[in-house]
Structure 1
């Protein structure tokens, strides 16, 4: 590298929507203690959300026994697996810190406060009141209550967020897009009062509504509470009427179509980004796409290769929003093939076209096709309002490139997930084949051993060395010492021995022969032998 070459600093942007996985491989004692106390601290945070998950109890005596350690390891593995299956817990900062302390070690709240203080130092119209801890689900997005010095009785919400992994606009183009958003006046988009971008992230100021978002209205939660406490395990929810779902869904669709026509997809639709003011919805966080932030449902979207464009992402997210508005609880899976019995047929057909396994496999409908669905004919037509939102041709081209790059990263992640699934499947097949081959080898070995034993017994019987014949032969041999062994008659010598049919018949024949030899009278043998010689 040349001396005067510039070193371009690069930052690795973490995608906080990626759900971490964990495997407990072994157990060891570190500095005289184990990590069970860390599990206890984590469990206290999980309990604050109201989600019921059982932590294996502590054991004081016998906790270093190998059998107990193995059992405890399996129980804690199941405990972590249950936590990661819950989307709210899996995306929370305490879980990220517990599983990945290296990447989530720094104090994000202090850094955010520093950036906000520096940004407001030159802005004399706003006064920082207090921070709101963990208002939303994003780890790197921080909220503050501020007041305008011109209108001190009205509270505003300041949002500071770091740039995400999909930020592909340079700072100049980003400033121009944010400036266009400041000038946007749309009936279904909450107006941005103030915005400031730095090298690290962006600051957005909007009006704060005490009623909260549409998610707060459905869940009956207080908007300033912790995200886990609000949505972890709500006791009572109030789903919307199906006519309201039709009305608000149509307003959302028309707003999404507006942004896509301008070449700036929304990409971040969920109930926490929707306000309900005077029976009309207003979208929040329209700047998230250009800031490079990943979608809430990205870990679901990455599992389906057909959801590979930002329009498909908006359609899929819209399906989740309809589901949660209609039934009062989120869909915690990537697909839905069984709807509640109370679901009307029109809404059911609409949800099936977006969230069913078959639709996610073959492809989702477009936003325009959804807008023409009969379900949205239940609501009255909205009055058309002329909206001023101008983007230069150069800025549109930059946005087009940014959208393509965002889609490329999504498609790359989808390929990686498919490859990982193939590798896992191949390992399972190989493992099953290895087990099958091992069983076959063991069976062949058993068959071979049993066959060799049978051959050995047959050989022993054929050679006349059975235990019974050996004992009888030794006795007869000892009894006939000093005597001449009488020869067999000529007729018996000339006749061929018949083949042995089985081992049992051979043993019986040999035993009968030995018995006859032992009971033979020698005097008769001599007389019979001389007669044979004379003949």
Structure 2
């Protein structure tokens, strides 16, 4: 009978892109050691806050985790004598607050597992990598053709995404990269719908989207296997980075960043827009564009991670566009993210703000008009152009582009899967609108502009 049926509560997935802030509230003497009481808050709501208790040695441990970044961070020095003096403790408290503020203003450090575990140990003490390996190993047991060769740790920005080098026993000379990730906060499909959507995505073909070798998902997450691109991502190309190095080491303080030629920016931008247009026309908006999931093969763009939306993952640039209530649709999200990719290609470094109103005078006029239509404060207040409008912009609408493709675009799915995807995208946009409303109201209360907040 229905009265006795068990209701299984829906799992709440944490949004790892929500910004953590902290403030020192007190210092106390615990068994001869100074312990700092720190209030941590996730996002704009004060009720989503908690306290942590840290000693100076905890900060030293955190600081040591940043050594691969190559950054010089202002951790106050250790003091052996007089370290219990009240005036010294007050000074150190201010210095440690300043230290954490600087760490949290750096988008790569702030999103690292070390910082998340330091500020939110209850949610980030899980052995994510070990669990990922277990799930991948179990999934591959029924696949006789594939086996894990070795892990490639921390090459991406997502804490819950883990990479493994795998091989196909039929073609062992081919290097394959398997990426496993847990479901995110925008997971709205049941397992049957997920399986159908994943199967459909696996059959997607487009000249500017990298094809998938093998993929699978379950109630915890999913993995996708693609051919390994030894040249790495577009960001690796810009930063002259070795693809298999750790994310923090590659990108926190790169030594040889180089912008792309304007002709390449126009060409790659046009190709990205064609891929985005195809996905939107097929009812599969991307929402996850950034330079780390774009590769270049034979001077052609290949987009990665098309499955992210189905898995419910939050976007890389979400901390930025959540500040702008005109960016409420997945098409607007794709356009906004595209603007950031253009900026990074032409200037050789990411834009670490949600808007840009002071472009370099060296920026070509046509490209300037594109960037201003997407990334300016006015554009984010009034609305962004559509993908179609950008494709017709003179900067991209060049007759020299080769419109002939060796690979014919293909993507078909059932009516049921199409409806499941439509509902999922609708709920994804609804959550975005709700969060934007909260951020806007919190910004009004504090009287602070959020346009320059860090990612």
Normalising by structure 2, we get a TM-score of 0.91
| Higher RCO, Cα 8 Å, sep 6+ | 2
User: 1 CA distance for matches of 2:360 and 2:74?
Assistant: 29
Alignment match, 2:207:
187
Aligned pair partner of 1:388 in 410, 414, 434: 410
Report the equivalent of 2:19. Answer: 19
The equivalent residue for 2:28 is 28
**Counterpart-to-counterpart distance in 2, 1:148 and 1:396:** 32
How far the C-alpha of 1:57 sits from its partner, in A, is 1.4
- Corresponding residue of 1:289: 309
Alpha-carbon separation, structure 1, partners of 2:253 and 2:185? 31
Equivalent-residue separation in structure 2 for 1:266 and 1:106 (angstroms): 29
Q: Secondary structure at the match of 2:412?
A: coil
Which residue number corresponds to residue 272 of structure 1? 292
Listed one character per residue, the Cα deviations across residues 37-82 of structure 1 (whole Å, up to 9, x for unaligned) are 1111111222321123211112222211222111111111111111
Q: Please give the alpha-carbon distance, in whole angstroms, between the structure 2 residues aligned to 1:321 and 1:394.
A: 34
- Cα displacement string for residues 407-459 of structure 1 (whole angstroms, at most 9, x for unaligned residues): 11011111111121222239xxxxxxxxxxxxxxxxxxxxxxxxxxxxxxxxx
How far, CA to CA, are the matches of 2:358 and 2:114 in structure 1?
33
Q: 1:404 aligns with which of 422, 426, 435?
A: 426
Counterpart CA distance in 2 for 1:62 and 1:155 is 58
CA-to-partner distance for each residue in 1:87-117, whole Å, 9 max, x for gaps? Answer: 1111111110111111101111111111011
Bigger proportion of residues as strand: 2
User: Match of 1:143, SS?
Assistant: strand
Cα distance in 1, alignment partners of residues 130 and 235 from structure 2: 28
Q: 1:138 aligns with which of 141, 155, 158?
A: 158
For residues 31-110 of structure 1, what are the structure 2 equivalents within 5 Å?
31-33=31-33, 34=35, 35-110=55-130
Which residue matches 1:376? 396
Residue matched to 1:204: 224
CA contact (8 A) 2:391 2:397 kept: no
Displacement after TM superposition at 1:3 (Å): 7.5
Confirm whether residue 6 of structure 1 aligns to residue 6 of structure 2: yes
Query: Secondary structure, in 3 states, of the residue corresponding to 1:266?
Result: coil
Q: Distance in 2 between matches of 1:387 and 1:299?
A: 33
CA apart distance, 1:2:
8.6
Matches within 5 A, 1:309-328: 309-328=329-348
Contact 1:324 1:331 in 2 (8 A): yes
Deviations along 1:388-419, one digit per CA (max 9) or x if unpaired, are 21122222222111111001101111111112
Distance in 2 between the 1:230 and 1:397 partners?
A: 41
Q: Which residue of 2 aligns with 1:489?
A: none
2:365 corresponds to which residue? 345
Aligned partners of 2:145, 2:2: CA distance in 1, in Å? 48
Which sits farther off after the overlay, 385-394 or 414-423?
385-394
Q: Of the candidates 175, 195, 202, which is equivalent to residue 155 of structure 1? A: 175
Specify every segment of 5 or more residues in structure 2 that has no aligned partner in the other structure, as ranges.
Answer: 36-54, 449-455
1:330 is displaced (CA, Å) by 0.4
Secondary structure of 1:10 counterpart: coil
**Alignment partner of 1:189: what SS?**
coil
Question: Structure 1 residue 136: deviation in Å?
Answer: 0.2
Aligned to 1:458: none
Q: Which residue of 2 aligns with 1:361?
A: 381
| Structure 2 counterpart of 1:515 | none
| Aligned counterpart, 1:464 | none
In 1, Cα distance between equivalents of 2:435 and 2:241: 35
Q: Secondary structure at the match of 2:27?
A: coil
Deviations 1:130-178 (A, max 9, x none): 1111010000000000111111122110111000000112221221121
Match of 2:321 in 1: 301
Q: Distance in 2 between matches of 1:92 and 1:150?
A: 37
Kept in 2, the 8 Å contact 1:134–1:142? The answer is yes
Instruction: Summarize the Cα distance change of 1:408–1:380 in structure 2 as closer, same or farther, 3 Å threshold.
Output: same
Q: C-alpha distance in 1, partners of 2:343/2:270?
A: 14
Of residues 421, 435, 439, the one that matches 1:417 is 439
* Offset of residue 239 of structure 1: 1.1
Provide the C-alpha distance between the structure 2 equivalents of 1:261 and 1:3, rounded to a whole number of angstroms. Answer: 44
Please state which structure has a larger fraction of its residues in helix.
1
Q: Which structure 1 segments of 5+ residues have no match?
A: 427-535
2: CA distance, partners of 1:414 / 1:75: 33
Rounded Cα–Cα distance in structure 1 between residues aligned with 2:134 and 2:4: 33
Whole-Å Cα distance in 2 between the matches of residues 183 and 264 of structure 1?
A: 13
Deviates more, 1:394-403 or 1:328-337: 394-403
SS in 1 for 2:167: strand
Q: Is the 8 A contact 1:167 1:402 kept in 2?
A: yes
Give the alignment's Cα RMSD to 1 decimal: 1.6
CA distance in structure 2 between the partners assigned to 1:17 and 1:70 by the alignment: 32
SS at match of 2:14: coil
Contact 1:129 1:144 survives alignment (8 Å): yes
Structure with greater Cα Rg? 1
